[in-house]
């Protein structure tokens, strides 16, 4: 995507509104340029002793008409431009958010949430400001300068005088092109450090509970302080150069006025120009300084927002890691066996295999338990089944269809994945459980809550299922969160269910009830259970044990106990724990 793509598309789609706004601003400025001319004439009549009461009234009304027309027409033009700028902000944020939803886990593990927020907030605002300002002030300035020049040329002010007066202003474009790129570069650094600060803030707020429990607030303050200091340094670096830029333009304006007053004044006292023309000339030169300053501001802002625009466009150009093939289709996973053949996988930025040569066939309707130490690859295997990451082609099939030939919608809508720490949204418990279909009947929500053994907890809250969670509501305990997330998985009622350590935070009695419920609910439907506790796995049709990414044991509970390997050791330790607890 080209650097200016999103902006160009927007401007092209709204060109007629922009044109209307520009016409209003042009008309306002042309009318405004009559101001000095009227005052010049007024001065001449005053000078020649022709001033009468009706003339004063006439000039006052004319000046009033100029002022009102300028305000009304300019106001309308400005309103349209500002409105369009806001619309751009809205459209771009929606587009960015829509794009974020297509990007994969890998993208999010590389880009912190704070950085992405900074794109959506700071960068979009910077571009919006620059378009509104750009159109408004550029039109204002260009027309004011052109009409001032035209008016000067149409009056009987000598050309050499006009030339001498506007000469200092000619240096402005030279300054603009010289300093502009420096402003842009420094502003890119500022935006980067703003992104880093948002990222740091996001992490600090996210981890505030841990920080407090470890009483390490000073360390966190120092770290955050470092991010803020970095911004200050970068901002000052930018301010130095942009202030120099801003200050040099009024200086040149003042220089023009000095020339006008000195040279124009000299010619006036020698009767080479009229007093009225001298007044008009001074006003015209004065009138041109502001627009020139505006042009400088616009260019300054544009340079800054260009950096933001580049970042937005780069982000929109990021392709999702997981791509669907054009011919992707859907199959009914209820009757499809899962075939995993010679599957080896390493994460994109890692040089070691997370899974080695996995071979596993899961017949439809069977329950498979997966055990293994932490880091042995259990979740990775599940991520590959959900295509959070892509497994090499040919290594995972559902029935006869390669996973890569299935549409993501078909695959993911038929798998219910319950992670160990399911994220709950800041909405009601009901909406969290009915996440997959918000309009699910209430009795089904209640039923799922009962099955997940969370019903009685929910009904104890004053607002029961309508209780809000998160920032504006209550905080659930770890075990309650896990069971709410389990209810969300149960209600989906999918052909395949994956419980990824989903009952690790509940007590053994509740775990037993949940496992029994899963066994009866999911009879004849494929279920994969990852667990560290043997009690959650022992009823599975087959149990596989992973170690360092390899399947090292497989069989039923009894076969594995007889095998006297890792599983049997795990069982022995846990049994011992239970009997210790019983003593
Ligand atoms: N996004 C990632 N990028 C790189 N390496 C990863 C990523 N996620 C996991 N790993 C690595 O892959 C290996 C397997 O991790 P995985 O999460 O599958 O283990 P696990 O068996 O599910 O562990 P646990 O029981 O603790 O959940 C680990 O060495 C881990 O560090």
Beta bridge partners of 555: 543
Would you kindly state where each structural domain of the chain is located, as residue ranges?
Answer: 5-317
Check whether 578 has a pLDDT greater than 70: no
Ligand 1 binding pocket includes 533 (Cβ within 6 Å): no
Which one of 104, 344, 347, 528 would you pick to mutate in the ligand 1 pocket, going by the greatest count of ligand atoms within 8 A of its CB? 347
Higher pLDDT, 99 or 577: 99
Q: For residues 227 and 476, give the distance between their C-alpha atoms in angstroms, rounded to a whole number.
A: 33
User: How much is the average pLDDT of 486-491?
Assistant: 85
**Distance of alpha carbon 113 from alpha carbon 8, whole angstroms:** 27
The predicted-structure confidence for 117-140, as pLDDT tens digits, reads as follows 777 887 888 888 888 887 788 888
Atom of ligand 1 nearest to the CA of 109: 1
Is any ligand 1 atom within 6 A of the Cβ of residue 377?
A: yes
User: In the predicted model, is pLDDT for residue 577 greater than 70?
Assistant: no
Averaged pLDDT score across all residues of the chain: 82
Give 475 or 529, the one with higher predicted confidence.
529
Mean pLDDT of 376-388: 88
What's domain 5-317's architecture?
Answer: Up-down Bundle (1.20)
374 lines ligand 1 (CB under 6 A): yes
- What percent of the chain has a predicted confidence (pLDDT) above 90? 2
pLDDT at 567 over 60: yes
Which alpha helices (DSSP H) does 111-216 contain, by range? 113-118, 124-154, 159-166, 172-206, 208-213
How crowded is residue 549: how many other Cβ atoms within 10 Å of its Cβ? Answer: 24
- Among 211-220, 329-338, 383-392, the range of highest mean pLDDT: 383-392
Residues 6 or more apart whose Cβ sits within 8 Å of residue 469: 424, 425, 426, 427, 428, 429, 432, 475, 476
> How many angstroms separate the alpha carbon of residue 380 from the centre of ligand 1?
6
pLDDT tens, position by position, 9-45:
888 888 888 889 889 988 888 888 888 788 888 888 8
Whole-number Å distance between alpha carbons of 43 and 430:
78
Out of 219-228, 248-257, 325-334, 510-519, pick the least confident: 325-334
Instruction: Ligand 1, residue 375: give the atom nearest the CA.
Output: 19
Q: Does residue 532 sit in helix, strand or coil? A: coil
Atom 2 of ligand 1: nearest residue by CA position: 347
Percent residues over pLDDT 70 in the chain? 96
If you measure from the C-alpha of residue 391 to the centroid of ligand 1, how many angstroms do you get, rounded to a whole number?
A: 15
238 backbone φψ class: left, alpha, beta (φ>0; ψ -120 to 50): alpha
Is 354 a pocket residue for ligand 1 (Cβ < 6 Å)? yes
What's the pLDDT at 409? 82
Q: Quick one: average pLDDT of 205-234?
A: 79
Of 115, 138, 108, nearest in space to 196 by CA: 115
* 29 Cβ contact list (under 8 Å, min separation 6): 70, 74, 139, 140, 143, 144, 147
Question: 383: Cβ below 6 Å to ligand 1?
Answer: no
* Residue 22 beta carbon below 6 angstroms from any ligand 1 atom: no
Closest CA to 85 of 42, 122, 129, 52: 129
Residues 6+ apart with CB under 8 A from 530: 369, 370, 371, 378, 379, 382, 498, 499, 500, 501
Cβ(347) to ligand 1 under 6 A?
yes
Closest ligand 1 atom to residue 382 Cα is 18
Each residue's pLDDT tens digit, 364-373: 888 899 988 8
Given ligand 1 and candidates 108, 376, 418, 537, which is best to mutate, with the most ligand atoms within 8 Å of its CB?
376
CA of 243 to the centre of ligand 1 (A): 51
Task: Tell me, using a 6 A CB cutoff, whether residue 350 lines ligand 1.
Answer: yes
Tabulate helix, strand, coil % of the chain (nearest 5). 65, 10, 25
Q: From the CB of residue 387, how many other CB atoms can be counted at a distance below 10 Å?
A: 20
Cβ pair 454, 506 in contact under 8 A:
no
Task: Tell me how far the alpha carbon of residue 354 lies from the centroid of ligand 1, in angstroms.
Answer: 7
Task: Work out the pLDDT band at 3, boundaries 50, 70, 90.
Answer: very low
335: Cα separation from own chain's centroid = 40
Query: Which residue's entry shows tokens 């390493």?
Result: 346
What Rg value do the Cα atoms of the chain yield, rounded? 36
Pairing of strands 401-402, 396-398: antiparallel
Atom of ligand 1 nearest to the CA of 376: 21
| ipTM of the complex, rounded to two decimals | 0.94
- In short, whether 371's Cβ falls inside 6 Å of ligand 1 is no
């Amino acid at each position: 995507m080209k650097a200016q793509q999103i902006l160009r598309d927007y401007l092209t789609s709204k060109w007629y509104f922009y044109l209307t706004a520009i016409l209003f601003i042009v008309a306002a400025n042309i009318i405004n340029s009559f101001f000095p001319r009227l005052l010049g004439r007024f001065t001449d009549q005053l000078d020649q002793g022709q001033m009468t009461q009706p003339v004063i009234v006439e000039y006052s009304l004319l000046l009033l008409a100029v002022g009102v027309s300028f305000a009304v027409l300019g106001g309308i033009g400005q309103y349209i431009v500002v409105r369009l700028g806001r619309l751009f902000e809205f459209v771009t944020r929606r587009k960015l958010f829509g794009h974020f939803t297509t990007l994969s886990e890998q993208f999010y593990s590389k880009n912190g949430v704070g950085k992405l927020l900074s794109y959506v907030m700071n960068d979009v605002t910077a571009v919006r400001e620059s378009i509104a300002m750009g159109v408004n002030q550029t039109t204002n300035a260009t027309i004011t300068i052109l009409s001032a020049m035209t008016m000067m040329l149409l009056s009987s002010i000598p050309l050499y005088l006009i030339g001498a007066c506007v000469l200092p202003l000619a240096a402005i474009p030279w300054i603009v092109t010289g300093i502009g790129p420096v402003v842009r570069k420094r502003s890119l650094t500022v935006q980067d450090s703003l992104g880093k600060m948002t990222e740091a803030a996001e992490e600090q707020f996210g981890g505030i509970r841990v920080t407090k429990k470890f009483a390490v607030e000073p360390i966190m303050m120092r770290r955050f302080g470092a991010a803020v200091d970095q911004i200050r340094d970068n901002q000052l670096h930018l301010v130095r150069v942009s202030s120099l830029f801003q200050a040099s333009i009024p200086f040149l304006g003042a220089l023009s006025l000095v020339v006008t007053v000195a040279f124009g004044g000299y010619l006036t006292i020698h009767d080479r120009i009229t007093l009225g023309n001298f007044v008009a000339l001074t006003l015209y030169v004065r009138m041109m300084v502001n627009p020139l300053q505006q042009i400088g501001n616009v260019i300054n802002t544009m340079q800054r927002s260009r950096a933001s625009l580049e970042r937005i466009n780069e982000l929109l150009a990021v392709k999702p890691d997981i791509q669907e093939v054009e011919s992707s289709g859907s199959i009914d996973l209820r009757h499809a066996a899962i075939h995993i053949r010679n599957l080896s996988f390493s994460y994109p930025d890692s040089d070691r295999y997370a899974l080695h040569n996995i071979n596993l066939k899961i017949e439809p309707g069977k329950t498979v338990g997966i055990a293994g130490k932490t880091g042995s690859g259990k979740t990775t295997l599940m991520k590959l089944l959900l295509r959070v990451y892509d497994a090499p082609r040919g290594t995972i099939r559902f029935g006869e269809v390669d996973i890569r030939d299935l549409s993501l919608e078909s695959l993911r809508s038929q798998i219910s994945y319950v992670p160990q720490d399911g994220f709950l949204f800041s909405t009601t418990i009901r909406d969290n459980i009915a996440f997959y279909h918000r309009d699910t009947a209430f009795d089904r929500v209640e039923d799922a809550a009962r099955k997940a053994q969370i019903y009685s907890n929910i009904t104890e809250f004053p607002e029961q299922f309508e209780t809000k969670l998160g920032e504006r509501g209550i905080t659930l305990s770890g075990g309650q969160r896990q069971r709410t997330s389990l209810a969300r998985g149960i209600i989906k009622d999918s052909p395949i269910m994956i419980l990824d350590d989903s009952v690790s935070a509940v007590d053994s009695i509740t775990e037993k009830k949940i496992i029994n419920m899963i066994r009866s609910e999911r009879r004849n439907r494929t279920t994969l259970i990852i667990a560290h506790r043997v009690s959650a796995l022992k009823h599975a049709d087959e149990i596989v044990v992973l170690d360092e990414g390899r399947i090292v044991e497989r069989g039923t509970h009894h076969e594995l106990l007889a095998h006297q390997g890792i599983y049997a050791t795990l069982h022995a330790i846990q049994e011992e724990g239970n009997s210790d607890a019983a003593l």
